[in-house]
Structure 1
Amino acid sequence: MIVSYTERDNVIRLISAREAGRKEKEAYEEG
C-alpha cells in the first residue's frame, strides 16, 4: 500500500492511499 500524508502542528492529513503496483513493490523489496 502507498500512503501519502502531510503533518502540520501535530495534525496528520491523509492525502491518498492505494494498493502498490508491481514495480513499486519490487522497488520496496530491493531497498
Structure 2
Amino acid sequence: MISPDALNLKPPSLDEIFDDNLSIFEQLYWLKL
C-alpha cells in the first residue's frame, strides 16, 4: 500500500499505481491456483 508520507514526498504516477496493483492481483491470482 502507498503510505501518506510517500504521497507527500512524491506523488506516484498512475503507471506506478497500476504496476503495484497488478503485481498484488497477480500474486493473489497465482496463490489461488
Highest RCO, 1 vs 2 (Cα 8 Å, sep ≥ 6): 1
More strand by share: 1
More helix by share: 2
Question: Above 0.5 in TM-score?
Answer: no
* TM-score normalised over the length of structure 2: 0.41
* TM-score normalised over the length of structure 1: 0.43
